[in-house]
Amino acid sequence: MKNKKNKLSFSVKFLFFTLCFLFFFLLLIRLILSLHEQQFYQRMAAVTFEISKSDQDLSSIIYALKQPSKEYISLGLPILKSYGYFGQLLTFKEQFLLWIFAGLALCFLFTFFLSLLSYQNRQTQARIQSLTDYLKQINAGSYPLRPYKTEDSFSLLEDEIYKTIVMLRESQKKAIDTKENLAKNMADISHQLKTPLTSLSLTAELLYQQIEKTKEKQIVEQILSQTEHLRLLVTALLNLSRIDAGVLQLEQKEIPIEELLSCAAEPILPLLKEKQQKLQIQNCSEYSFLCDIGWTAEGISNILKNCCEHSPEFSTISITAFQNPIYTEIQIEDEGEGLDAEELSSIFQRFYKGKHSKKDSIGIGLALAKSIVERQNGEIFAENCRDKGARFRIRFYV
């Protein structure tokens, strides 16, 4: 209601000032005409008096004054010009004053409309800035409801934004509830699966110790292998569901990159030893950045494991790092066969397995690494090296 009153008050003021200006302008015109009439009658009175002293008949002169013919006008103008009259009755001073009055009137009109346009522009910019800030809050993940609304040309847009915000808040709440329920269900299922998997693994180990025949031992070894494979799959799915639900707690600390890479390389040391591969870490001792060392090390370890599995024996896996004011980047390169076009576009998808993957590969390690990196304001790329092998680039932005 207050906004409507302000809008009405502004309209009344605008109408009032417009009428005042028109009245002032018309008054100025009337004043100019009055001055012209006064000058004309004063000078004609003086001319008439001079003519009357010569005892001439004034009737023809007065008649020519009231109804001048074109012939008389054309004949009389050269006579007036010979005495220095060129159609101007007002003096230079009088004309100067009239021009000042006209200029002031135009300046007043220009200033008023300029002020009006400036005021409307400020109001429009303020409303646009207000709506822009509101949309920035939405893009940042906040969905506040605005308890007030302004009645102006942006009201319809504001109403639509308000309705959209209400829908987004409801959708966000439902999505959060769904993800939390999914994470909780996954945690429950994982917990329920771990108990029979542990029991199955222990039973298989006991059975393996009691069997003497080689063929039967191979069968039990397959059971143990598949049990371990299933345990890893359950753990990976549980971690992914926690990340998706946003319930994964990450502790950000300033961690030296060399320490992080040491933690990441530790789980794959047996695989490196088995394939007699070499892990080479270069240019990492001087850098550090904010991250969760446990989860980040697990993500990098998954990438190192992928490089180790897809590289030949006696090859080298190289790790380098560098830093700039925008991000910290870790590069991991192997000496394998590289990645084809399909793998480059799909390698980080869940359950995707490349052409050269092992039979027991889950296809979830790189997807988990990507989720962990992105959860910490980072991104990960895969590309081929210029000579041979694949390169993984991990960036953590400041």
Residues 249-286: pLDDT tens digits? 778 888 888 888 888 888 888 888 888 888 888 877 78
Integer Cα distance of 392 and 304 in angstroms: 10
Q: Which of 119-123, 129-133, 172-176, 246-250 has the lowest mean pLDDT?
A: 246-250
Buried b (16+ CB within 10 A) or exposed e, 80-110: eeeeeeeeeeeeeeeeeeeeeeeeebeeebe
Integer Cα distance of 321 and 393 in angstroms: 9
pLDDT band at 161 (very low <50, low <70, confident <90, very high): confident
Mean pLDDT of 225-241: 75
In this predicted structure, what is the pLDDT of residue 1?
A: 47
Q: Which residues, including other chains, have CB under 8 Å from residue 134's CB and lie 6 or more apart? A: 144, 146, 161
Q: Which of 36-40, 215-219, 247-251, 285-289 has the lowest mean pLDDT?
A: 36-40
Question: 253-256 contacts: CB < 8 A, separation 24 or more?
Answer: 253/290, 253/291, 253/292, 253/293, 254/288, 254/289, 254/290, 255/288, 255/289, 255/290, 255/291, 255/293, 255/296, 256/285, 256/287, 256/288
Report the greatest alpha carbon distance in the chain: 163
Q: Which carries the bigger pLDDT value, residue 361 or residue 167?
A: 167
Q: Are strands 278-282 and 316-323 parallel, antiparallel or unpaired?
A: parallel
The model's pTM is 0.52
Q: In what order do the strands lie in the sheet with 316-323?
A: 278-282, 316-323, 327-333, 390-397, 378-384
Mean pLDDT of 42-69: 66
Integer Cα distance of 303 and 283 in angstroms: 19
Q: What is the percent of the chain where pLDDT is above 90?
A: 4
Question: What one-letter code names the amino acid at 11?
Answer: S
In this predicted structure, what is the pLDDT of residue 394?
A: 92
In this predicted structure, what is the pLDDT of residue 309?
A: 87
Q: Does an H or E element contain 380, and which?
A: strand 378-384
Q: Which carries the bigger pLDDT value, residue 56 or residue 390?
A: 390
Integer Cα distance of 17 and 1 in angstroms: 25
